[in-house]
Structure 1
Amino acid sequence: MTRSARTALWAAAASAAAVLTLNPLVVSSGWLVGAFGIVFAVVGAGLLVRGLFHRPGLAVAVQGLVVLLVVVLLFNGGTAPLGVVPTPATVDRLVQLATDGVQVVQRYSVPAVDLRGLRLLLVAGAGLVAFAVDLFAVTLRQPALAGLPLLGVLAVPLALAPGGSGAVAFVLAGVPYLVLLAGDRGTPARHPRSGRSGRSVTGVTASATAAVALVAAVAVPAAVPGLDERPLTIDTGPGDTIAVINPILNLKASLGARSDATIVTYATDEPDPAPLRIVTADVFDGQTWAPSTGADIPRRQRVQDGLSPAPGLSDAVRDQSVVRSTQISIRGLDQTYLPLPYPALRVDIAGNWLYETDSLNVVGDGETTRGRQYTVTHLEVQPTEEELRAAPPAPGDVQERYTELPQLPAVVADTAQQVTAGATNAYERAALLQRYFRSSGGFTYSTTAPNDGGSDAVATFLSEKSGFCVQFASAMAVMARSLQIPARVAIGFLPGRETQTGQDGALSRWRISAQDAHAWPELFFEGVGWVRFEPTPATRTGQSPGYSVPQVATEPPVQGQTGATPPPAASSAPSASASTSTATATGPAAAAAPTGWDRFLGLPWGWILGALLLLVAVLTPWVSTALLTRRRWAGVTGAASSAEAAWAELDDRVHDLGVSWPPSTTPRQRAVGLSEFAGAGSPAADQLARLRAAVESARFGPGSGAGGGVLVAQRTDRQVGRLVRADVDAVVEAVGAQRSRWVRWRARLFPTAGVRRALDWWDRD
């Protein structure tokens, strides 16, 4: 394998590892298959063309073509003949997908849902990174410049993802780049005494510096206290706090914030304001709630022209609702979604703000909320208990879309069934779920996340019975969906604190801080539309909506006796004893108990990786040299090979003591130089003479060195081997006696022979 091929493979590893660091930005990991595929397709094409034609320019052209062909193959949507022949329809589709991907990037915080548009950007970007790294490292033979595209990729998760990309991914991305730097020849360096051509000063210095930086980057953050994640608020100065509410809820992320600085103020004629809603999340993958992304919002759907009627809201309920007006002023909130009361009828605001018809989310078309002042005309919908009880089934498309769930632990659906046993309609089930979380279930509000943030997060929350609003809202929405009640999660702000009471027709005034960020479930009832429930305990949210508490409450099952409330006579549900048995076997505590894998993931990996890297850095010189020595002596088959092995061993060991010579010098010339350290007439000088005579006899025949033929003739192979190794030790000890103590200890603890041999192999063409 040539140096060029080895460099190409390490470049591929560096590109793939850099792409892997983007994984925290996306909800799922399916896009990595295409990303890794295009990386290795680009590198493989370069290896093939360079190997067959030895034309770097042709390889670059083919690699660029491969990027295009792979993108067409993966995203043509049936518009390309043979899957790889682009047509005008293919170009239109790719442009549309790229536009959709850009909109996902602009609208959503991380982690984003990897819809096909975003997936196209990720895969194509991975191909371009691999192309650029291969171009710099292999074609142009400038590995240091390959760090530019790699750095561009690494900077994205560091800037956007809470916690960055993680220590493991960072190390995996850094090590291949260090190998590329180590192979950089640059300007050949020469030995100061001998003039022998050596390795690149630039490459060796850069790789050594980068290796130290890599270890420090992993170990230092783990050792320094106080580097916690605060993704919600960014203090930019006195009185100027910028809040960013993530519209994508990871079940291990909190909306809680420490800052009490005012970020929104509003004045309203509504006597008891409802929360201000920013966005709704309706896609759940088991770990994360995210807003769905569909077709572009038509530009005609401007909020200034009025919003379409709220989905599911009947004319009868609409007519009995009160029209309200709220004046909102944004002081420190900077994002593309507009906070609004729900449902809004019209928004008087400057700029291009568009609404989605199915959610009434309002999105800025190149606009952000910072510094905005606007007036919202909206409805105060107060459904009655009778309207909610009598709500007919939801339309088929709503039912299908908003009850979809991924595979979850059985305990989630089982708990929902147990909590709502005895309920006769969707409203009673929803009310029982809310009561279960707020009072009867033994849950407490806490700013500490449950241990599990993965696919068992809801089950873990049901077991630990402690969490913040994200857990409460998500758990109720998921359990409602398991009961076939359409549900989604809303993200926004609690009403905040009233600063001026409205009297004599005046508007009441309120302030909202980042601490008021909140999430709650919305359940769909035909005729009323999307209805807010409040499962988070009153210690956080105050009183729940009046309509969500039945006047004649359906009694929930007694705690500790799940399934005790008898189902209707015609029901085929299991008996109370069977239910209790099932709960014992599959209840929340059993299903959500931490697994060995959970404990493994919870280990302090920053410390562990830092210690491992330090250990590897310390042991690599010694281990590599020991392996080299073992291999060298294992290949000895006679007196001649023993002499060669001993001479090479002597060369390596005195090199660590600072004594070296050009490769062209003869054994006799080297022996003369070493005799200055051994001392004339000393035992070490005699042993050095025997070593020199032995290697001359091995190379030039018996008798060519004084005493060499006698050594070979009068000793067995094993005796010669022991003798020459003892001679090497004696000469090295004599040379070391003339060096400083620091040099002697460095030679013992950090022998460099193995590392130098590995670097020489790397440089071999």
Structure 2
Amino acid sequence: MTRSARTALWAAAASAAAVVTLHPLVVSSGWLVGALGMVCAVAGAGLLVRGLFHRPGLAVAVQAVVVLLVVVLLFSGGTALFGIVPTPGTVDRIVQLATDGVQVIQRYSVPAVDLRGLRLLLVAGAGLVAFAVDLFAVTLRRPALAGVPLLAVMAVPLALAPGGSGAFAFVLAGVPYLVLLAGDRRSPARRARSASGSRSGGRSVAGVTASATAAIALVAAVAVPAAVPGLDERPLTIDTGPGDTIAVINPILNLKASLGARSDATIVTYTTDEPDPAPLRIVTADVFDGETWAPSTGADIPRRQRVQDGLSPAPGLSDAVRNASVVRTTEISVRGLDQTYLPLPYPALRVDITGDWLYETDSLNVVGDGETTRGRSYTVTHLEVQPTEEELRAAPAAPGDIQERYTKLPQMPAVVGDTARQVTAGARDDYERAALLQRYFRSSGGFTYSTTAPNDGGTDAVATFLSEKSGFCVQFASAMAVMARSLNIPARVAIGFLPGQETQSGQDGTPDRWRISAQDAHAWPELFFEGVGWVRFEPTPATRTGQSPGYSVPAQAVAPPTPGQTGSLAPQQPSAAPSATSSTSTTSATDAATAAAPTGWDRFLALPWGWILGALLLVVALLTPWASTAWLARRRWAGVADAPSSAEAAWAELDDRVHDLGVSWPASTTPRQRATSLSEFTGSGSAAADQLTRLRSAVESARFGSGSRPAGGVLVDQRTDRQVGRLVRADVDVVVEAVAAERPRWVRWRARLFPLAGVRRLLDWWDRD
């Protein structure tokens, strides 16, 4: 394999590894297949063209075409001829997808939804990165410049994703780039080697030192952050001055990330004529992948849907309930919230605000068209909907599109659905089921509110939460929404703020004044009841949220389920004595809790892998010099077949070992010249001097014939192979000990603990054309 081909492969590995670091930015990993496929296609095209035609310029052109063809193949949607020949329809489709992808980036913070538009940007971006890295490293032979696109990619998750891209992804991306740098012909090590005329001499001074420094830096970059306490995964708050805090509430809920924040600085104030304000809603999330809730995205919002012209009626809200609702007015002033979504009471009728603000008809989320909330003041006209228990009980089945969209669930642990059915056993309608779920989380289930993240943030997060019975609002809201969906009740999760703190009670008809801080960030489930629409429930315990909505608590308490019960609203009656059936119920609950407990695999995944990986890397870095040198020596002596090969093996080992002690020479020097250099350390007339002369005579005999005789007049090739092997290896030890005695102590310890002969041979192999 030529050096150019090796460089191209390492460039592709570096590009692919850099692309993998982006995985925390997206809720799923399906896009990685296309992105890595794109990297392979670009690298393969370059290798093929350079191998067949030996024309770098042609390879660059072909790689650019390959990027375009892969994009067309994956995203043309049937508009391209034969799947790869673009048409005007292909261009329109790709432009629309790119626009959708940009919209996702602008609207959502990480992790974003893996929609087709965002996937297009990721795959095309992977192709451009692979193209740029290959261009710099292979065509232009400037591997150092290849770090620019690699760094640009790796910086994105470091800046946006909580916890960055992870230690493993960082190492995976760093190692190929270091290998590229090691093969740079214009590096200081190469120039030192050329100036000295020594292949190994340049290595010893610059190349090996640079390689060791890079390896130590890579290990430190992984190990040190793992040892330093990190920030928790809460929303970003930035103090910009006295009384001025900027908060960003992530509209995509990760079940391991709390919405709570440290800062109690005021970020929103409002006045309202609503006596008991409901939470201000920022956005609703209805797409659940098992680990995160995210808002769904689709086509662009028509510009005619301006909030200043009035919002469309709330989905599912009947005229009767609407006419019975009270129209309220709330004036909101945003001081330190920087979002593209506008916090509003639900359902809003009209928003008086400057700028371009558009609403989504299915959710009434309000999105800024190039606008943000910071510094905005606006007035909201909205409804105070207080449905009755009878209206909720009498709600007919949801429309088919609502039912299908808002009851979708990924593959979930069986304990989630089993627990939902167990908690709601005996309920006669969806309202009773919702009320029982809410009561289960707030009181009867033994749950407690905590700001400590759970151990599991993966697809078993809900099951783990049901087992540990402790978590924050995101988990309470998510668990109730998931369990409601498992019972075929349409559900979604809302993100916003609790009402906050009342700072001034209205008098003489003036509105009440309230303040909200970042600590009031909150999430709650919304369940759909036809005729009433989306109804807020509050499963998070009262220690965090206060009283639950009045309509969510039945006037007559729903009895908890008992085996054989068909459903009753009668208050729970204490049993006189335990029975066999109650024992069976208790056993079932125990079994469900046991099933929800983390498995051995869950515990394995919960291990501190940052620490473990850092320790393993440190061990590998420390052992690699010794192991590679030992392997080289074993391989060298295993190839000895006769006296000449024994002499060559001994002379090569002597070269390596004194090199580690800081004694080297140009590759063009003869054995006699090298022996003369080493005689400065061995002196004359000593045992070491005699052994050095014997070694020099042996290698000269092997290279130039049997005319050269060692000391004592015995021909080396007249001895048996085994005798020669033992003799020359002992000679090497004597000479090396004599040289080491003349070197500083720290040099002796470095040569003993970190022999670099194996590393030098590996780097020499890389240099070979």
| Fold match (TM-score > 0.5) | yes
Q: Does 1:65 align with 2:65?
A: yes
1:403-482 aligned at under 5 Å gives the runs: 403-482=407-486
Q: Structure 2 counterpart of 1:273, which letter?
A: P
Report if aligned partners of 1:221, 1:227 keep a CA contact under 8 Å in 2: no
Deviations 1:114-168 (A, max 9, x none): 0100111111111111111111111111111111111111111111111111111
1:102-181 aligned at under 5 Å gives the runs: 102-181=102-181
Aligned residue pairs: how many?
A: 755
Shift of 1:227: 4.2
Deviations 1:594-640 (A, max 9, x none): 22222222222222222222222222211111111111100001111
Structure-1 residue corresponding to 2:78: 78
SS at match of 2:345: coil
Structure-2 residue corresponding to 1:244: 248
Shift of 1:567: 5.5
Structure-2 residue corresponding to 1:49: 49
Q: CA 1:585–1:712 in 2, change beyond 3 Å: closer, same or farther?
A: farther
Q: Structure 2 counterpart of 1:354, which letter?
A: L
Worse-superposed segment, 413-422 or 579-588: 579-588
Q: Does 1:494 align with 2:498?
A: yes
SS at match of 1:81: coil
Shift of 1:713: 5.1
Deviations 1:457-503 (A, max 9, x none): 11111111111111111111111111111111111001111111112
Report if aligned partners of 1:563, 1:579 keep a CA contact under 8 Å in 2: no
CA distance in 1, matches of 2:604, 2:767: 40
Shift of 1:207: 4.6
1:342-741 aligned at under 5 Å gives the runs: 342-557=346-561, 563=563, 565-566=565-566, 580=584, 584=588, 587-705=591-709, 710-712=714-716, 714-741=718-745
Worse-superposed segment, 218-227 or 88-97: 218-227
Q: CA 1:635–1:364 in 2, change beyond 3 Å: closer, same or farther?
A: same
Structure-1 residue corresponding to 2:7: 7
CA distance in 1, matches of 2:230, 2:111: 24
Aligned CA-pair RMSD? 2.1
CA distance in 2, matches of 1:288, 1:665: 66
Q: CA 1:192–1:523 in 2, change beyond 3 Å: closer, same or farther?
A: closer
Report if aligned partners of 1:280, 1:359 keep a CA contact under 8 Å in 2: yes
CA distance in 2, matches of 1:238, 1:620: 53
CA distance in 2, matches of 1:66, 1:586: 58
Report if aligned partners of 1:353, 1:363 keep a CA contact under 8 Å in 2: yes
Report if aligned partners of 2:197, 2:667 keep a CA contact under 8 Å in 1: no
SS at match of 1:256: coil
Shift of 1:416: 1.4
CA distance in 2, matches of 1:302, 1:353: 6
CA distance in 2, matches of 1:656, 1:195: 19
CA distance in 2, matches of 1:148, 1:679: 53
Q: CA 1:398–1:708 in 2, change beyond 3 Å: closer, same or farther?
A: farther
Q: Does 1:309 align with 2:316?
A: no
Worse-superposed segment, 183-192 or 321-330: 183-192
SS at match of 2:453: coil
Q: Structure 2 counterpart of 1:529, which letter?
A: G
Structure-1 residue corresponding to 2:97: 97
CA distance in 2, matches of 1:192, 1:139: 23
CA distance in 1, matches of 2:368, 2:761: 61
Q: CA 1:496–1:55 in 2, change beyond 3 Å: closer, same or farther?
A: same
Q: CA 1:452–1:8 in 2, change beyond 3 Å: closer, same or farther?
A: same
Q: CA 1:228–1:435 in 2, change beyond 3 Å: closer, same or farther?
A: closer
Structure-2 residue corresponding to 1:571: none
Q: Structure 2 counterpart of 1:672, which letter?
A: T
Shift of 1:192: 11
SS at match of 1:189: helix
Structure-2 residue corresponding to 1:184: 184
Q: Structure 2 counterpart of 1:251, which letter?
A: L
Report if aligned partners of 1:75, 1:94 keep a CA contact under 8 Å in 2: yes
SS at match of 2:672: helix
SS at match of 2:610: helix
Structure-1 residue corresponding to 2:572: none
Q: Structure 2 counterpart of 1:424, which letter?
A: R
Report if aligned partners of 1:323, 1:379 keep a CA contact under 8 Å in 2: yes
SS at match of 2:298: coil
SS at match of 1:614: helix
Q: Does 1:262 align with 2:266?
A: yes
Report if aligned partners of 2:456, 2:606 keep a CA contact under 8 Å in 1: no
Shift of 1:708: 9.2
Structure-1 residue corresponding to 2:573: none
Report if aligned partners of 1:181, 1:204 keep a CA contact under 8 Å in 2: no
Deviations 1:281-333 (A, max 9, x none): 11111111111101110011000000000111111111111111000000110
Q: Structure 2 counterpart of 1:196, which letter?
A: S
Report if aligned partners of 2:245, 2:336 keep a CA contact under 8 Å in 1: yes
Q: Structure 2 counterpart of 1:451, which letter?
A: N
CA distance in 2, matches of 1:98, 1:172: 29
Report if aligned partners of 2:216, 2:621 keep a CA contact under 8 Å in 1: no
Structure-1 residue corresponding to 2:759: 755
Deviations 1:349-407 (A, max 9, x none): 00000000000000000000000000000011111111111111111111111111111
SS at match of 1:264: strand
Q: CA 1:446–1:41 in 2, change beyond 3 Å: closer, same or farther?
A: same
SS at match of 1:236: strand
Q: Structure 1 counterpart of 2:306, which letter?
A: R
Shift of 1:688: 1.4
Report if aligned partners of 1:25, 1:112 keep a CA contact under 8 Å in 2: yes
Q: CA 1:8–1:693 in 2, change beyond 3 Å: closer, same or farther?
A: same
SS at match of 1:279: strand
Deviations 1:199-251 (A, max 9, x none): 58886666544433322221112222354444332222321111111111111
Report if aligned partners of 1:474, 1:521 keep a CA contact under 8 Å in 2: yes
Q: Structure 2 counterpart of 1:465, which letter?
A: K
Structure-1 residue corresponding to 2:34: 34
Q: Structure 1 counterpart of 2:60, which letter?
A: V
Q: Structure 2 counterpart of 1:102, which letter?
A: V
CA distance in 1, matches of 2:456, 2:25: 19
Deviations 1:45-88 (A, max 9, x none): 11111111111111111111111111111111011111111111
TM-score by length of 2: 0.95
Report if aligned partners of 1:302, 1:353 keep a CA contact under 8 Å in 2: yes
Q: CA 1:312–1:152 in 2, change beyond 3 Å: closer, same or farther?
A: same
Unaligned ranges ≥5, structure 1: 569-574
Deviations 1:242-290 (A, max 9, x none): 1111111111111111111100000011111111000001111111111
Shift of 1:585: 8.8
CA distance in 2, matches of 1:166, 1:406: 26
1:293-308 aligned at under 5 Å gives the runs: 293-308=297-312
CA distance in 1, matches of 2:587, 2:360: 42
TM-score by length of 1: 0.95
Deviations 1:417-446 (A, max 9, x none): 111112111111111111111111111111
Report if aligned partners of 1:694, 1:708 keep a CA contact under 8 Å in 2: no
Q: CA 1:420–1:228 in 2, change beyond 3 Å: closer, same or farther?
A: closer
